[in-house]
Chain A
Amino acid sequence: MSLNKNLFPGNWDGNITHEIRLSRKKPVIMAGPCMFENREIGFQVGSFLKKKCEQLNLPFVFKSSYDKANRTSANSVRGPGVKQGLEWLKELRQELNVPILTDVHSTEQALEAGNIVDIIQIPAFLCKQRELLVAAASTGKVVQIKKGQWATPEEMLEIARFLEKCGNSKITLVERGSCFGYNNLVVDFRNLVEMHKDGHAVIFDATHSVQLPGAGCGKSSGLRHMVHPLVRAAVAVGVDGIFMEVHPNPEKALSDADTQLHMQTAEIILEDIAQILF
């Protein structure tokens, strides 16, 4: 690794695509609706964020999930499913010309999504699932691993080393809050520093970090008003990317209704990030 040459471990240049590159000087904005509820919402949010990020000279990656596989309740909506979801993501990638990130929950999904998306995300609860990591690594795509809410930053570095042994050095590690008693999370900003020890790109997940898991009577609740101050803190500490979920009408969202950002709030936060950086 050479920080002077802005290279990541394995001599990875941090390129997600030819146009979008990870860098501490200009963190990548990874944002979109939590669930790809329907085509309209995905394109509405994606178009809005792309335009805003272009105006602010911030690199942008569209994020959305096609399957929420670990909902608190068995009765909660899970999303459009892998087939429809990947189809929409593919369309959005082509029409908006933006890189795509989505999360996977099985080896089969990892291989399938690897044909379409630019970043494969391993969910926090699955961050130590060996077979899933092997499959994600084999796609050759950027693998983004969320830190388990109970996991140590040291474990995340070991997981990254494991992925490198699997032949894929294109790794990003994500802080998304640590367990803080029951139904609560706290952001340990030391993790942004610790997880960067080996030089890997570190992303701050601003909207999941403010979750109150399972605190909403059969669903997760959250502290949306905390997103903005935590983003400011993360940018101040230094990160390669900011992850946040945005929805046209969060109160009516089918998942993470208490933590997704209104588009207007996302706009304010993006402007603030640009102001801090530039």
Chain B
Amino acid sequence: MSFFSSCKNFIIEINYQFSKPSVDASVFQVYDFSQWKLQSDSVTTKNLLEANIDWLKKARAESIHPFGVIVSSPKEIELAAKYAHFIYIPGELCRQSDILEAASQTKLPLIVERGCFLAPIDVIRVLEKLKDADVALVDCGTANGYSDTLLDPRVLFLIKKTGKKFGLHLSDLLAPEGISYTHRPNWLSDSSFIEAFVATGQALGASFYVIKSYGKAAISTEIALKYTSGKL
């Protein structure tokens, strides 16, 4: 049975490295050790996931709810699979055959983002590379010029036709990660758009929503639960 079928109505909160697990059973944590630290003043040559493996062991031992880890290579997938309950693959890597194959081989549930550059019709190619893995998909929006994404109902319609559970990445829809285009208009970051995203997701069958606890499009679990309460 699919992990995602048994976990209905949930929020996924992406955290940059360490954070306290949520007490709310409907919120699953995802830890991102390879977060792109553009503003970092110090550079370590260590693999950040490898360097934090003790923390991950502890998290596994103490976790009450399932949690996931964001991965960026087959090597990281091998490490993460020892401790995480599920693997999370970012959109930028959704076409990387080695990563998808390695993730599939773990037999763990996989959450895979659709890259903002990927046509929805090509999601099926991504699923083919994942073979018979237990997969849920996340739509982060479609690139719309620089530092902006559009929530396209046609994408959700086509993803739904794959038969996979899917969710919407509210933080990325509000403001894609990375350094913003210098000329990005401020009105695009209006957080009340979350309501419109959730309404669209609800209408087209989204099962869950993804938020980030850090960055310029951080959304708290309280806000996410407020907008999604009773709508999942």
CA distance A155 to B93 in the complex (A): 17
Flag whether B195 is at the interface (Cβ < 8 A).
no
**A73-B128, A148-B92, A155-B38 are contacts. A107–B122 as well, Cβ < 8 Å?**
no
Closest to A128 in B: B36
Flag whether A166 is at the interface (Cβ < 8 A).
yes
**A78-B97, A130-B72, A213-B117 are contacts. A152–B181 as well, Cβ < 8 Å?**
yes
**A130-B72, A131-B73, A152-B179 are contacts. A69–B96 as well, Cβ < 8 Å?**
yes
Most buried by A among B74, B129, B146, B181: B146
Q: Chain A contact residues: over half helix, strand or loop, or mixed?
A: loop
CB distance from A178 to the nearest CB of B (A): 8
* B121 contacts across to A, CB distance below 8 A: 182, 214
* B82 contacts across to A, CB distance below 8 A: none
Per-residue B-contact encoding for A60-100, CB less than 8 Å = 1, 0 else: 00000000011111100010000000000000000000000
| Interface size class, chain B | 35 or more
4 nearest A-B residue pairs (beta carbon) = A179-B143, A70-B95, A182-B119, A150-B143
CA distance A158 to B179 in the complex (A): 8
* B179 contacts across to A, CB distance below 8 A: 152, 154-155, 158
CB distance from B46 to the nearest CB of A (A): 9
Most buried by A among B39, B179, B181: B179
Chain B 113-167 residues near chain A, CB threshold 8 A: 115-122, 125, 128-129, 142-143, 146-147
CA distance A130 to B43 in the complex (A): 10
7 A-B pairs (CB sep. < 8 Å): A70-B95, A105-B96, A106-B73, A130-B36, A154-B181, A155-B179, A162-B37
CA distance A204 to B137 in the complex (A): 34
Q: Is the CB of B146 within 8 A of A152?
A: yes
Q: Is the CB of A183 within 8 A of B119?
A: yes
Flag whether A165 is at the interface (Cβ < 8 A).
yes
* B76 contacts across to A, CB distance below 8 A: 131
Flag whether B229 is at the interface (Cβ < 8 A).
no
Q: Is the CB of B98 within 8 A of A105?
A: yes
Flag whether B17 is at the interface (Cβ < 8 A).
no
**A70-B95, A72-B95 are contacts. A107–B178 as well, Cβ < 8 Å?**
no
What is the interface size of chain A, counting residues whose CB is below 8 A from a CB of the partner?
A: 40
CA distance A151 to B149 in the complex (A): 12
With A71-B95, A148-B117 already in contact, 14 other A-B pairs whose C-beta atoms are closer than 8 Å: A74-B125, A126-B92, A128-B36, A134-B45, A150-B115, A150-B116, A150-B143, A151-B178, A152-B181, A154-B181, A159-B38, A182-B142, A214-B118, A214-B125
Q: Is the CB of A74 within 8 A of B129?
A: yes
Q: Is the CB of B97 within 8 A of A166?
A: no
CA distance A70 to B89 in the complex (A): 14
Q: State which of A78, A108, A151, A214 has its C-beta within 8 Å of the C-beta of B122.
A: A214
CB distance from A69 to the nearest CB of B (A): 6
* A107 contacts across to B, CB distance below 8 A: 47, 73, 75
* B116 contacts across to A, CB distance below 8 A: 150, 179
CB distance from A177 to the nearest CB of B (A): 10
**A69-B97, A165-B43 are contacts. A154–B125 as well, Cβ < 8 Å?**
no
Most buried by A among B95, B97, B120: B97
CB distance from B78 to the nearest CB of A (A): 12
Q: Is the CB of A72 within 8 A of B122?
A: yes
Chain A 142-196 residues near chain B, CB threshold 8 A: 148-152, 154-155, 158-159, 161-162, 165-166, 178-179, 182-183
Most buried by B among A128, A131, A155, A218: A131
Q: Is the CB of A131 within 8 A of B34?
A: yes
CA distance A165 to B41 in the complex (A): 8
Flag whether A129 is at the interface (Cβ < 8 A).
yes
Closest to B178 in A: A155
CA distance A105 to B121 in the complex (A): 25
CB distance from A120 to the nearest CB of B (A): 16
* A158 contacts across to B, CB distance below 8 A: 38-39, 179
Flag whether A48 is at the interface (Cβ < 8 A).
no
Q: Is the CB of A162 within 8 A of B92?
A: no
CA distance A194 to B119 in the complex (A): 27
Q: State which of A106, A151, A154 has its C-beta within 8 Å of the C-beta of B98.
A: A106
Most buried by B among A129, A138, A158: A129
